[in-house]
């Protein structure tokens, strides 16, 4: 299927989402985390087809803006939504999600009603994390204690924390225990996402079975997780065509259609995006794959081994999360990519 799409690719790049693979992956995650509430973090990829594929497998969706709230509510009226994010507007706070993740005492004061989790910002050891969620996110324990003391119109149901991303199952289970230890008996606990996705070794998958077992062992009555990247990254491909191959000051470059205005992931995470070449072959050389933008930061992969010629198609894998939706689409006003949805991709 992907080879057929590559053969038909014109000068406009294309995203391809394998919905059958996503459905199967989501089913495996659901089975491994039985007994744990599973919410998908919409920020990872809000594409309606992606959300419709995930919906039967999740208990709800985590949204981080009024726009995401309205988008998901229109697709799934009545579905449980958790509304997070550090900068909620007055309009945001008039919405009625299943749970608000409260980021400050002032935010709690502004709520006229609803059920909330207090977002806790803990100073913890996160060795090996790709991203530590410190800084302005949530409240330190003293602020949480202040929220618990003051009168509020909203009902405090428990706590929420997302402390780090890019961790394996053992490390993430340890963080979950740390978070749960800050809850009161009988309260809900949401430990966010952060499951590792290995772009350098796509076959190195997060151990969902071990994570589910570890979470169940914490003994929390209502425990919730919010995976994003680890749910959808693997179902997406970004197809581009080689426009030119040239050597500049001894370094070989392949210029491709599209760029980081469509697929910003490798720049933001500082990795080489894994890819497959559909082309004419030839000897492999060390080459840097770049896009069409007028910036030296428009790079997909640096000094990797590949055989690339003008007209070849490069299919970048793992483009199903934090890819098109996080990219700066309008820079240089290049054409928007096409989108294809397939059921199975041999």
Cβ neighbours of residue 285 closer than 8 Å, sequence gap 6 or more: 252, 305, 306, 307
- 3-state DSSP helix/strand/coil percent for the chain, to nearest 5? 30, 25, 45
- Whole-angstrom Cα distance, residue 86 to residue 229? 20
- Whole-angstrom Cα distance, residue 165 to residue 131? 5
Q: What's the CA angle centered on 285, arms 318 and 279, to 5 degrees?
A: 60
Contact between residue 50 and residue 17 where contact means Cβ atoms under 8 Å apart: yes
Tally of CB atoms within 10 A around 301:
19
Local structure of 40: helix, strand or coil:
strand
Q: Which helix (H) or strand (E) holds 99?
A: strand 99-102
Active site residue 235: no
Name the catalytic one among 147, 190, 235, 294.
294
- The alpha carbon of 340 is separated from its chain's Cα centroid by a whole number of angstroms, namely 20
Local structure of 134: helix, strand or coil:
coil
Could you list the active site residues?
294
């Amino acid at each position: 299927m992907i080879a057929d799409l590559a053969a038909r690719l014109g000068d406009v790049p294309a995203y391809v989402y394998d919905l059958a693979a996503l459905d199967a992956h989501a089913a495996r995650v659901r089975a491994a985390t039985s007994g744990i509430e599973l919410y998908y973090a919409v920020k990872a990829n809000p594409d309606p087809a992606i959300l419709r594929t995930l919906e039967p497998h999740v208990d709800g969706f985590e949204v981080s803006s009024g726009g995401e709230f309205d988008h998901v509510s229109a697709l799934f009226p009545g579905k449980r939504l958790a509304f997070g994010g550090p900068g909620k507007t007055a309009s945001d706070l008039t919405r009625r999600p299943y749970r608000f993740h409260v980021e400050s005492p002032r935010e709690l004061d502004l709520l006229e009603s609803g059920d909330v989790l207090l977002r806790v910002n803990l100073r913890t050891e996160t060795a090996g994390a790709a991203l530590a969620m410190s800084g302005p996110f949530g409240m330190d324990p003293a602020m949480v204690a202040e929220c618990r003391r003051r009168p509020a119109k909203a009902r405090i149901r428990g706590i929420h924390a997302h402390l780090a991303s890019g961790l394996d199952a053992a490390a993430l289970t340890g963080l979950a225990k740390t978070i749960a230890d800050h809850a009161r008996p009988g309260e809900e606990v949401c430990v966010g996402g952060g499951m590792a996705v290995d772009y350098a070794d796509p076959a190195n998958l997060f151990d969902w079975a071990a994570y589910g077992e570890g979470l169940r062992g914490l003994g929390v009555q209502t425990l919730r997780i919010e995976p994003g990247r680890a749910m959808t990254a693997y179902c997406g491909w970004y197809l581009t065509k080689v426009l030119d191959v040239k050597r500049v000051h001894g370094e070989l470059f392949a210029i491709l259609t599209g760029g980081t205005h469509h697929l910003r992931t490798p720049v933001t995470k500082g990795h080489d995006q894994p890819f497959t070449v559909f082309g004419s072959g030839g000897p492999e050389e060390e080459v840097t794959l770049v896009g069409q933008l007028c910036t030296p930061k428009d790079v997909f992969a640096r000094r990797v081994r590949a055989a690339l010629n003008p007209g070849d198609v490069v299919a970048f894998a793992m483009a199903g999360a934090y890819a098109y939706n996080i990219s700066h689409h309008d820079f240089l006003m290049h054409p928007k990519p096409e989108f294809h949805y397939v059921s199975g991709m041999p």
